[in-house]
Chain A
Amino acid sequence: MSEPRVGVYVCHCGHNIAGTVDVQHVAEWAMGLPNVVIARDNRFMCASTGQEQIEEDIKQFELTHVVVASCSPHMHEKTFRNACARAGLNPYLFEMANIREHASWVHPNDREGATNKAKALVSAAVHRVVHQQPLEPMKVDIRPETLVVGGGIAGIQAALEIADAGYHVYLVEREPSIGGHMAMFDKTFPTLDCAACILTPKMFDAGGHPNITLLTYSEVEKVDGYVGNFQVRVRKKARMVDESLCTGCGTCWEKCPIKVVDTVWEAGLGYRKAIYRPFPQAVPKYPVIDIENCTYFKTGKCRMCEKVCPTNAINYEMQDEIIDLEVGNIILATGYKLFDARRIPQYGYGRLENVFTSLEFERLTNASGPTEGKIVLRDGETMPQTVAIVHCVGSRDRNYNTHCSAICCMSSLKFAHLVMEKTGAKVYNFYIDMRPIHKGYEEFYHRIMEEGATFIRGKVSEITDVARSPEEEGKLIVVCEDTLLGRQRRVPVDMVILAAGLEPQADAQEIAHMFGVGCGDTGFFIERHPKLDPVATMTEGVFIAGACQGAKDIPDSVAQGAAAAARVLGTINQRQVTLEPIRASIDEERCSGCRICNNMCPYNAIDFIEEKGVSRVNPALCKGCGTCVAACPSQVITGAHFTFEQIMAEIDGIMIDVLSDRPVVEAV
């Protein structure tokens, strides 16, 4: 083979790199590295002029390998690989040195150190790249079916978009009905449309769509495979009601003698029966038996629902069903959980009767809620004369969650409006900052101020029932420093609503791990890029939408659901997806058949061929982690693009003496 000819390109990235690293020196120095025939510095390598420079040089200098020293490969590796490919060079003969995220940006006050590090990283890439092999990306067919996990508004929107485009969707929901948090709300800000009126048509569409298989009361248990070909195992919990017979008439839950506090749909304020349908517009319409509270399941007696069911749909023998699905793409829309206000004991939730959470208030004001929409105190009859709404409960607070929950300002304004409209009560809003940022939100804020709500700027320190004066007797006193007046205030009220923040689901970590996505420091799922790729994840074929990605309101959740669906439709229409050819392969001539690698593989991708006495990697199952490569005692497993020779060369290159004027090449 003829001598390799390497081209090196050192990017200024404007001032981002050149402000700290002496890029010109790095490029000049790189000219002395082995096999380098051209080294240049350039203001912006990722710009078209930078890319064209690479293409021209590949032709002019007959480059066989290319190194770009710029940003993280997670940013622009693809860009430069494509530039190489356009000039006829196999894209895997390209290597990147990360001198921005890993050098200039982290050593801003150490020009010498950052420059030396950049030299070492460039040297590592130059040493490594000559060992790189041309690789051909694997193409796999994409199954057109999609799995959507979570039946809230984001998941429903995503499912409908894909189903309307003519592709099949499996919509999996943990609860007995789809709808999510939005189904519990009464009104939606800032337009004050009724949540049910705008949500239920979508729920019915999703429930009756020929392209949607609705799997409610079901949970994903296991995910295998990769983009285009995921194998998903879903457990459909036993409803104890035969869906093919049930008409949803409601006789069973009318007659059921057991009342249970409904902590999910009624936020603990109301009751349901042991056989129940979560709410009147539930989709699907079938009830479910709560076997933990059902008398029959506890004592073997009762069977009331079975006796009264006109279609004999009750089946106490029903078992959980395991459903195996094959899908090409997955959208996670698993939503959020409300911050538990009990964690702030000085606010008295759970101890002081008339302190409510935002979700409880939503149920209180909802016409289908436990009070049929009457805003009353816990006694169930007294209308409040004064109401305090406390913002940022468990949000923007280092003790609990640092993030802003995004919706509480607006929902608090909505609560203020509803309280004033329905009860005529005086309303006090205790806020830190008002953040009504989206279209029509600021106008809504002004409207509520004009309607007469009082706004007090300051973080509430305590809510107490200990009166200091006669007018405080029998009231809840909200204690706060009014930062605009500059003094302490005690505001006596009848009712307090805590605008509790949005948190990741309690099992977000487990969900993330099952689907191969990550959780950020606030616990929400991490997107591929915070600005430019907000619904994709690091795992190809897995997308995220709605509040599982970060606290957000309904319009944003709908937009993300639709965006994720558009991304899925994009990949489905490509029919094939290109996979990184980073795979392991075994040299069967030299394999001793010890089978150590067989048990190493987390994907069972290594088979033992009995007749030959050797192991073999199934490339369709291999994901390229390299665990078997490191484990092989005979060193006969090759991890493409991360071979032993490549990494060893990289180590040699990275340890070069960066202080010498000309790089000294050690004879190996």
Chain B
Amino acid sequence: MSDNGTFTPVIVGFLCNWCSYRAADLAGTSRMGYPATLRDIRIMCTGRMDPTFVLRALQKGADGVLIMGCHPGQCHYQEGNYKAIRRFALLRRTLRQLGIEDERVQLHWASAAEGVRFAETVARMTEQIKQLGPLDWPRNWPNEDPYAVEEAVHE
């Protein structure tokens, strides 16, 4: 991810279909610029966030992961974002033990009307990760697929 000495981070985004994905759409239709660092994946609700998605993204070389959902109390599915908060707290403890800085994996809210907030969140997180530098998990960690084992168990 390092190119000519300047570091452009790659952030994988998980956006809920109803609020934050629409906030990203609104940022687009309103032409609000932000750094091209975020590569986003749409999920129906942050309640679908399996913590292993975050680990997989980091393992595949992401420098950060941004999870965004509806504001507390405004979840399209009533309370999926509260489940996300609880899982996120647990995930963060795990990540700290692995030596991964808090800034690399963040959970934020944006309503469908908050294109500005969405763009600002991406810009801010990009700056924070630039300060931290690349994570380089693939180089620092044995490149084995932990899920291959799990799938074998199921079969």
A109 proximity list for chain B (CB < 8 A)? 33
Query: Which range holds the interface residue count of chain A?
Result: 35 or more
A512 proximity list for chain B (CB < 8 A)? 74
B45 and A101 contacting across the interface, CB-CB below 8 Å: no
Q: Nearest CB to that of A20 among chain B residues?
A: B36
How close is B153's CB to chain A, nearest CB, in angstroms?
Answer: 10
A642 proximity list for chain B (CB < 8 A)? 43-44, 48
B125 on the A face (CB < 8 A): no
Q: Nearest CB to that of B30 among chain A residues?
A: A105
B134 on the A face (CB < 8 A): no
A101 and B29 contacting across the interface, CB-CB below 8 Å: yes
A14 on the B face (CB < 8 A): no
A668 proximity list for chain B (CB < 8 A)? 145, 148
B36 and A626 contacting across the interface, CB-CB below 8 Å: no
Partner of A108, one of B19, B22, B31, B62: B31
Q: Nearest CB to that of B3 among chain A residues?
A: A659
B113 proximity list for chain A (CB < 8 A)? 518-521, 526
Partner of B39, one of A108, A644, A654: A654
Chain B proximity mask over A49-87: 1 for CB below 8 Å, otherwise 0: 000000000000000000000001110000000000000
Q: Nearest CB to that of A109 among chain B residues?
A: B33
A627 and B73 contacting across the interface, CB-CB below 8 Å: no
Question: B29-43: which residues lie under 8 A (CB-CB) from chain A?
Answer: 29, 31-43
A101 and B24 contacting across the interface, CB-CB below 8 Å: yes
B48 and A626 contacting across the interface, CB-CB below 8 Å: yes
Contact of A648 with B147 at beta-carbon distance under 8 Å, contacts A513-B74, A627-B77, A655-B57 already known: yes
How close is A581's CB to chain B, nearest CB, in angstroms?
Answer: 13
A73 and B42 contacting across the interface, CB-CB below 8 Å: yes
Question: A91-140: which residues lie under 8 A (CB-CB) from chain B?
Answer: 98, 100-103, 105-110, 113-114, 116-117, 120-121, 124
A625 and B77 contacting across the interface, CB-CB below 8 Å: yes
A655 and B10 contacting across the interface, CB-CB below 8 Å: yes
C-alpha gap A521/B114 in the complex (Å) = 7
Q: Nearest CB to that of A600 among chain B residues?
A: B83
C-alpha gap A659/B3 in the complex (Å) = 10
B93 on the A face (CB < 8 A): no
B53 on the A face (CB < 8 A): yes
Q: How many A-B residue pairs have CB under 8 A?
A: 154
Query: Which range holds the interface residue count of chain B?
Result: 35 or more
A650 and B36 contacting across the interface, CB-CB below 8 Å: no
Q: Nearest CB to that of B15 among chain A residues?
A: A102
A121 and B39 contacting across the interface, CB-CB below 8 Å: yes
How close is B5's CB to chain A, nearest CB, in angstroms?
Answer: 15
B53 and A648 contacting across the interface, CB-CB below 8 Å: yes
Q: Nearest CB to that of B40 among chain A residues?
A: A102
B119 on the A face (CB < 8 A): yes
C-alpha gap A624/B77 in the complex (Å) = 9
C-alpha gap A360/B143 in the complex (Å) = 73
How close is B87's CB to chain A, nearest CB, in angstroms?
Answer: 7
C-alpha gap A655/B39 in the complex (Å) = 9
B127 proximity list for chain A (CB < 8 A)? none
A380 on the B face (CB < 8 A): no
C-alpha gap A113/B37 in the complex (Å) = 8
A582 and B25 contacting across the interface, CB-CB below 8 Å: no
A644 proximity list for chain B (CB < 8 A)? 50
Chain B proximity mask over A505-517: 1 for CB below 8 Å, otherwise 0: 0000100110010
A620 on the B face (CB < 8 A): no
Contact of A623 with B39 at beta-carbon distance under 8 Å, contacts A630-B47, A639-B48 already known: no
Question: A647-661: which residues lie under 8 A (CB-CB) from chain B?
Answer: 647-648, 650-652, 654-655, 659
Chain B proximity mask over A582-626: 1 for CB below 8 Å, otherwise 0: 100000001000000000101100000000000000000001111
A538 on the B face (CB < 8 A): yes
B124 on the A face (CB < 8 A): no
C-alpha gap A120/B19 in the complex (Å) = 23
B28 proximity list for chain A (CB < 8 A)? 72, 100-102, 105-106
Chain A proximity mask over B65-100: 1 for CB below 8 Å, otherwise 0: 000000001101111100100010000000000000
Among A103, A526, A630, chain B packs the most CB atoms within 10 A around the CB of A630
Q: Nearest CB to that of B148 among chain A residues?
A: A668
A582 proximity list for chain B (CB < 8 A)? 44
B154 proximity list for chain A (CB < 8 A)? 590, 635
Q: A interface vs B, CB < 8 Å?
A: 72-74, 98, 100-103, 105-110, 113-114, 116-117, 120-121, 124, 509, 512-513, 516, 518-521, 526, 538-539, 582, 590, 600, 602-603, 623-627, 629-631, 635, 639, 642, 644, 647-648, 650-652, 654-655, 659, 668
The 9 closest A-B pairs by CB, nearest first: A101-B28, A113-B36, A626-B48, A627-B47, A625-B77, A655-B60, A105-B28, A625-B45, A602-B78
Could you list 16 examples of A-B contacts with CB < 8 Å?
A: A72-B28, A105-B29, A106-B34, A106-B119, A110-B36, A509-B74, A513-B74, A518-B18, A590-B154, A602-B79, A602-B80, A627-B47, A630-B50, A647-B53, A654-B39, A655-B61
Given contacts A74-B21, A647-B41, A655-B61, 12 further A-B contacts (CB under 8 A): A72-B28, A102-B28, A106-B33, A106-B36, A107-B36, A117-B39, A521-B114, A600-B83, A602-B79, A642-B44, A668-B145, A668-B148
Q: B interface vs A, CB < 8 Å?
A: 3, 8, 10, 12, 18-19, 21-22, 24-25, 27-29, 31-45, 47-50, 53, 56-57, 60-62, 73-74, 76-80, 83, 87, 111-114, 119, 145, 147-148, 150, 154
